Amino acid sequence: MVAVYVTVKPASTIPGQLMSALFTPIQLRGLTLANRVMVAPMCQYSADDGEANDWHFTHINSLALSGAAMFCIEATGVEAIGRITPGCLGLWNDATEAALKPILASVRKRSKTAVAIQLAHAGRKASSSRPWDGGQLIPPAQGGWQPVGPSAVQQKDDEAPPLALDETGLARIRDAFVASAQRAMRLGIDAVELHGAHGYLLHQFLSPISNRRTDQYGGSLQNRMRFPLEIYDAVRAVVPADKPVGMKVSATDWVEGGWDLPQAIELATELKKRGLDWIDVSSGGVSPKQKITLGPGYQVPMAEAIKKATGLTTIAVGLITDVRQAEDIIASGKADMVALARGMLYDPRWGWHAAAALGGHVAAPPPYWRAPPHEHKDLFGTTSFGAR
Write out the DSSP string of 244-295: -EEEEEES--SSTTS--HHHHHHHHHHHHHTT--EEEEE---S-TT------
In order of 113, 229, 230, 240, 264, the CA distances from 222 in angstroms are 37, 10, 12, 28, 12
Select from 329, 295, 294 the least CA-distant residue to 315: 329
Q: pLDDT band at 10, cuts 50/70/90?
A: very low
Residue 11 has pLDDT above 50, yes or no: no
CA pair distance 345, 368, nearest whole angstrom? 19
Q: Compute CA 292 distance to the chain's CA centroid, rounded to the nearest angstrom.
A: 21
Nearest partner of 87 among 53, 39, 38, judged by Cα: 53
CATH of the domain at 338: 3.20.20.70
Question: How much is the pTM?
Answer: 0.93
Q: Which residues of 264-294 are buried (b: 16+ CB within 10 A; e: fewer)?
A: bbebbebbbeeebbbbbbbbbbbbeebeeee
For 141-180, the pLDDT digits (tens) are 999 999 999 999 999 999 999 999 999 999 999 999 999 9
Domain annotation covers residue 12 = no
* Mean pLDDT to the nearest integer, 299-323: 97
The pLDDT tens digits for 60-111 are 999 999 999 999 999 999 999 999 999 999 999 999 999 999 999 999 999 9
Q: Tell me the mean pLDDT in the region 319-336.
A: 96
How do residues 336-360 score in pLDDT, each as one tens digit? 999 999 999 999 999 999 999 999 9
Q: How far apart are CA 355 and CA 342, in angstroms?
A: 19
Q: What is the percent of the chain where pLDDT is above 70?
A: 94
Provide the pLDDT for residue 381. 78
Report the pLDDT averaged over residues 32-39: 98
Number of structural domains found in the chain: 1
Catalytic residue at 217? no
Q: What is the mean pLDDT of residues 20-38?
A: 97
Asked if residue 371 belongs to a domain, the reply is no
Round to whole Å and give the CA distance between 92 and 51: 10
Closest CA to 96 of 82, 76, 81, 73: 76
C-alpha dihedral, 77 to 41 to 1 to 6, nearest 10°: -150
358 occurs within a structural domain: no
* Active-site position among 200, 217, 232, 368: 200
Q: Quick check: is 370 in a domain? A: no
* Contact predicate 299/251, CB 8 Å: yes
Q: Check if the beta carbon of residue 90 is closer than 8 Å to that of residue 76.
A: yes
DSSP per-residue string spanning 332-372: TTS-SEEEESHHHHH-TTHHHHHHHHHT------GGGTT-S
Question: Which domain, by its residues, includes 323?
Answer: 30-353
Whether residue 135 lies inside any domain: the answer is: yes
| CA 217 from centroid of its chain's CA atoms | 25
Residue 48 lies in a domain: yes
Tell which residue, 239, 217, 238, 240, has the closest CA to residue 228.
217
- Confirm if 191 and 246 have CB atoms less than 8 A apart: yes
pLDDT for residue 18: 66
Are 226 and 149 spatial neighbours (Cβ–Cβ below 8 Å)? no
Residue 63 lies inside a defined structural domain of this protein:
yes
CA-based nearest residue to 230, from 150, 148, 173, 181: 173
Determine phi and psi for 292, rounding to 5 degrees: -110, 130
pLDDT (average), residues 11-29: 74
CA distance to 83, 207, 228, per residue, from 201 (Å) = 11, 10, 9
365 in any annotated domain: no
